[in-house]
Chains A and B, each alone.
Chain A
Amino acid sequence: MVVKVNMQTSAPTPVVGTHANQAPPAGEPAKITARDVNVYYGANHALKSVSLDIPGKSVTAFIGPSGCGKSTFLRCINRMNDTIPGCRVEGRIGLDGDDIYDPSIDPVSLRARVGMVFQKPNPFPKSIYDNVAYGPRIHGLETSKTGLDDLVEASLKRAGLWGEVHDRLKAPGTGLSGGQQQRLVIARAIAVNPEVILMDEPCSALDPIATARIEELIDDLASQFCIVIVTHSMAQAARVSQQTAFFHLGSLVETGPTGMIFTNPKDGRTQDYITGRTG
């Protein structure tokens, strides 16, 4: 990976965006609080006692080598792990203080509050319009035709896709380019007005130009949502996030403001990873 080679030769040089690396306003309570989270796939202990606070209205990046548990932890936050047979989650994850694994919490409405964007763009085999309108329709958020039209337009605009697709909203969403599809999926997630957006390596299937657009978009959205992004690319984590958490072998090794993790990590393993010695 080109990025890695760069990291190896020169010291980590995070590209600083407009919002990036500005520490969140102090004193604001964390949006997501995880305490002692353990995840098992059958007999496999995939995530070991992770405790982490994620602040709202900012971008938090999870980094770490493959299989380190970062995606697993991400999927815990909107209970997508429930859909995997044999998967067991222990511990407590709070969203605004409420335990999302409490029996009284319904995963369906939880997922309306915590949206998710996947590695591979997965637009439904429907029109662009219907893709964006899918969430509002199933949740019954908007019933009038004009209301829905407005919502779709607003969501596409927030996702920066409106200009490219406004004249072909009835065209199939699968006909868009990879980067456009990923923005469509983000628009789809935004349409239900979630509080948190989880992104699981959202750019790994995209070319550099499309990646840059998504990163800009993440930057824009950070003012409105709590965004958690899993990424393989340390450069990307450095570019878009304000906080970074480093996972290794199922454990959370280190967490802190992105600038600090990349310039002055406390743990040797983090140091090794960001300088390219492991991973």
Chain B
Amino acid sequence: MTDAAQHPSAKHLKKRYAAEARFKMYGRLAITIALAFLVILLGRIVLQGYSTFTTNTVSLPVYLDPARIDRADLSGSNYDYLVSLAVLKALGETEDELGTMSEDASALISRDLGFQILDKVKADPGLIGKTITVTGPVKADADLYYKGEIKRSVAEGNRKLNDRQLTWLDRLKKSGRVHGGFNSAFFTHGDSTEPEQAGILGAAVGSAMMLLVTALIAIPVGVMAAIWLEEFAPKNGWTDLIEVNINNLAAVPSIVYGLLGLAVFINWLGAPRGSPLTGGIVLALMALPTMIIATRAALKAVPPSIRDGALAIGASRTQTVFHHVVPLARPGIMTGAILSLSHALGETAPLLMVGMVAFVPGIPSSFIGGATVLPVQVFIWENASERAFAERTAAGIMVLLAFMIVMNATAIILRRRYERRW
């Protein structure tokens, strides 16, 4: 355009548009980087963890040799050895004098089979001398071999299983005694030192118990504190100080709450170490500021006309707040509560301080007994050296994330469904 070209600004236009394009590209690049990280992070975890959800089980006919079972002390007998012998028998091998054959065989089969035999013999001692078939998981390393994660191509010295064991595993598989299937143990067991026996249920129950404590403390206290600050508190230096204090508390590193819990609750008040009760109290204190901030925001969103209307028909201030304002703010309060609980669910550091890192086998049943929670279970497994725990760590993370997604989705649905625009 001739006229456009005449204006002196036109001559720099090309350069300026190049700068514009460059700038916009930086923005796109930043978003791409952020989203790529998300994909890589989640993708890696799924890739590392999905194999946990399947496992290989083996069915073996085990001869309950009366010579090897002490009828007087059923619990003291070595059933694992019987299982090893059964493996050798199934493979057509015979035990050597040094016991290396059975040692190699026992490294392939989970001790779960031995415990199953013990239970059966205890229930019916008449089984001794007979042959029974037991079914149970293979050892974690054997499972990894079946899943292709331990490879024969690796030098023998660099893998957990030797060539003979790999050959045995191949033969077991070929004989049809090994079946792949859903790893129900992972969802029904507590932690264990044996990876194939370790499950997430203990930690999930621990998390649920701890969150219950957190919710019972943080929600009522947080809501009532917010109601006072928003609806009743006079505006003066003290309330300003409380306000600043709450905002800053929300940004205090979580580990400091752990130090507080250790010094005050455990050492001073003698609260039980590593219990859902203590962990829940510490997390409640941590969740309190966010809870208060969210509730205040929800209360603020209720228009003053509602308060005026209630006061004008003769309701007292307290009645106004509890009969009119709080019910209207309830969806916002609930959303805030779920979000702060979901945050508490993922919190780890303060729990390490109050002794929740201890190894807790089985499912926790008491609020004052030792327990572990999902994120701490992840931390514990990540530290374990066995390779099979790495995939369980990732699977544990998937379970943790699933819980968090459910909670956040609930919060989002609540917000969408009950959101009101005044």
Contact = CB atoms under 8 A, between A and B. Distances in A.
Interface of A: 95-96, 98, 102, 104-106, 108-110, 112-113, 138-141, 192
Interface stretch (B9-17, B26-34, B109-117, B398-406): B9-17
B404 to A, nearest CB: 33
B9 A95 contact: no
Nearest to A111: B9
A265 B7 CA distance: 39
Contacts of A108: 9, 13, 16-17
Contact of B3 (A95, A138, A139, A140): A95
B9 A192 contact: yes
Contacts of A141: 8-9
Contact of B11 (A98, A104, A113, A140): A140
Q: Which 6 A-B pairs have the closest CB atoms?
A: A139-B9, A140-B12, A112-B9, A109-B10, A109-B4, A109-B9
A98 B1 contact: yes
Q: Point out which of B3, B9, B11 has the most chain A C-beta atoms below 10 A from its C-beta.
A: B9
Nearest to B20: A108
20 contacts: A96-B3, A98-B2, A98-B3, A98-B4, A104-B1, A105-B4, A106-B13, A108-B9, A108-B16, A108-B17, A109-B7, A110-B4, A112-B9, A138-B16, A139-B8, A140-B9, A140-B11, A140-B12, A141-B8, A192-B9
Contacts of A105: 1, 4
Contacts of B3: 95-96, 98, 113
Interface residues of B, number: 13
Nearest to B2: A98
B1 A112 contact: no
A105 B3 CA distance: 10
Interface in B1-57: 1-4, 7-13, 16-17
B30 to A, nearest CB: 22
A30 to B, nearest CB: 15
Interface of B: 1-4, 7-13, 16-17
Given A108-B13, A139-B12, A140-B12, A113 B7 contact: yes
Contacts of B11: 140
Given A109-B7, A112-B7, A141-B9, A102 B16 contact: no
A141 B9 CA distance: 6
A112 B11 CA distance: 12
Contacts of A102: 1
A150 to B, nearest CB: 15
Contacts of B17: 108
Nearest to A113: B7
A113 B1 CA distance: 13
A192 B12 CA distance: 14
Q: Point out which of A98, A102, A138, A140 has the most chain B C-beta atoms below 10 A from its C-beta.
A: A140
A191 to B, nearest CB: 12
B42 to A, nearest CB: 32
A103 to B, nearest CB: 10
Contacts of B16: 108, 138, 140
Contacts of B8: 139, 141
Given A106-B13, A112-B7, 19 more contacts: A98-B1, A98-B2, A102-B1, A104-B1, A105-B1, A105-B4, A108-B16, A108-B17, A109-B7, A109-B9, A109-B13, A113-B3, A113-B7, A138-B16, A139-B9, A140-B9, A141-B8, A141-B9, A192-B9
Nearest to B4: A109
Nearest to B15: A140
A104 B1 CA distance: 7
A121 to B, nearest CB: 24
Nearest to A112: B9
B280 to A, nearest CB: 47
Q: Point out which of B2, B4, B12 has the most chain A C-beta atoms below 10 A from its C-beta.
A: B4
Contacts of A96: 3
B4 to A, nearest CB: 5
A84 B18 CA distance: 23
Contacts of B10: 109
Contacts of A110: 4
Nearest to B10: A109
Nearest to A96: B3
B9 to A, nearest CB: 4
A148 to B, nearest CB: 14
Contacts of A95: 3
A108 to B, nearest CB: 7
A102 B16 CA distance: 20
A139 B16 CA distance: 9
Contacts of B12: 139-140
